[in-house]
């Protein structure tokens, strides 16, 4: 049974650290505990796909030391969590560019992707060196190449063609959560988010645990998703006739 796809923009590590008088990287370190807890709790909350925004392509603008620590944390996470992920039926994959990820982190990431490939309980997607605009332009490039090679008719390109090229079979996110109060997408899942419900919380990422996820999901359950249609078709028809 396919459940919910939740995307999370994990923000506020720096502010969490500052509030405690600690260096920024301590916030990232605490943020890993939140990742672990949310990944553990997600399946029981009906989540079958979880996309976590861990490092944006714009995050390369940060000081070298901070970037280095973030990739060190990624390597550590992959190493330490691998066995538990396998045991819990979690399949981990990465989305985003792979060519700029430091070698040692990439090696651990690949090992974890391979080791967890058979996980069926939760698909955990880590967005690393990710940019939605980049993902869309890459998909466009792939389609253009097929047109060039005569394998795709330009006139046959539709939203569905693009959707398949961009999302690679992964269902659109139902809910996108952003922590730490900012209300923007920061280049996260721009195509896929067309009808996602958005949930903003002031809770900083290191304080966001499975209980916070449960709270977000219970609010999500109250939302009325119409996808451009009407909820009660009979009622709508009556209104249209009666005007």
Q: Which residues bind ligand IPE (CB under 6 A)?
A: 9-15, 53-56, 59, 70, 180, 182, 184, 186, 205
User: Quick one: which segment of 10-18, 35-43, 88-96, 126-134 binds Mg ion (CB under 5 A)?
Assistant: 10-18
Closest CA to 214 of 90, 48, 44, 9: 44
- In angstroms, the CA 49 to CA 3 distance is 8
Decide whether 12 or 173 has the Cβ nearer to ligand IPE.
12
Instruction: Tell me whether residue 24 or residue 143 sits nearer to ligand IPE (CB atom).
Output: 24
Is 129 a binding residue for Mg ion by CB under 5 A? The answer is no
What is the spatial distance between Cα 187 and Cα 130, in angstroms, rounded to a whole number?
8
- Which residue has the CB atom at the shortest distance from ligand IPE? 14
CB 13 within 8 A of CB 28: yes
Cβ-closest position to Mg ion: 11
- Contact criterion met (CB below 8 Å) for 14 and 27: yes
13 is catalytic: no
Minimum distance from CB of 182 to ligand IPE (Å)? 5
Does 187 contact Mg ion by CB under 5 A?
A: no
Q: In what order do the strands lie in the sheet with 175-178?
A: 90-95, 122-130, 47-56, 4-9, 175-178, 197-200
DSSP state of 60: G
> Across-strand partners of 47?
4
Q: Which stretch binds Mg ion (CB under 5 A): 5-13, 16-24, 136-144, 186-194?
A: 5-13
Of 112 and 179, CB closest to Mg ion = 179
| Integer Cα distance of 70 and 102 in angstroms | 11
Residue number, 64 or 120, with CB nearest to ligand IPE: 64
Q: Select the binding partner of residue 210 from Mg ion, ligand IPE, none (C-beta < 5 to 8 A, by kind).
A: none
HSE at residue 135, side-chain half, CA atoms within 13 A, is: 24
| DSSP alpha helix (H) spans, 61-187 | 64-87, 103-115, 132-148, 159-167
For residue 218, the minimal CB distance to Mg ion (Å) is 26
59, 88, 172, 207: the active-site residue:
59
Query: In terms of CB distance, is 14 or 119 closer to ligand IPE?
Result: 14
Residues 11-30 that bind Mg ion (CB under 5 A): 11
CA 214 – CA 47 distance, rounded (Å): 10
| Residues annotated as part of the active site | 11, 59
Binding site for Mg ion (CB under 5 A): 11
């Amino acid at each position: 049974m396919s459940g919910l796809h939740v995307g999370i923009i994990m923000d506020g590590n720096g502010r969490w650290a500052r509030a405690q008088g600690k260096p920024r990287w301590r916030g990232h370190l605490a943020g890993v505990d939140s990742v672990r807890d949310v990944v553990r709790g997600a399946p029981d909350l009906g989540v079958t796909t979880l996309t976590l925004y861990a490092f944006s392509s714009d995050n390369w603008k940060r000081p070298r030391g901070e970037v280095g620590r973030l990739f060190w944390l990624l390597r550590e996470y992959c190493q330490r969590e691998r066995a538990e992920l396998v045991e819990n039926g979690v399949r981990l994959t990465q989305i985003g560019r792979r060519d700029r990820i430091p070698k040692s982190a990439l090696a651990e990431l690949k090992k974890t992707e391979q080791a967890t490939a058979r996980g069926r309980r939760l698909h955990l997607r880590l967005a690393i060196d990710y940019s939605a605009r980049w993902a869309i332009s890459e998909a466009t490039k792939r389609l253009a190449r097929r047109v060039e090679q005569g394998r795709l008719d330009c006139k046959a390109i539709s939203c569905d063609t693009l959707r398949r090229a961009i999302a690679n079979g992964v269902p659109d996110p139902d809910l996108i959560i952003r922590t730490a109060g900012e209300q923007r997408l920061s280049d996260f899942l721009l195509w896929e988010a067309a009808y996602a419900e958005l949930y903003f919380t002031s809770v900083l990422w290191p304080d966001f645990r499975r209980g916070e996820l449960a709270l977000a999901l219970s609010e999500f359950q109250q939302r009325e998703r119409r996808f451009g249609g009407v909820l009660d078709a009979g009622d709508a028809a009556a209104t249209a006739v009666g005007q």
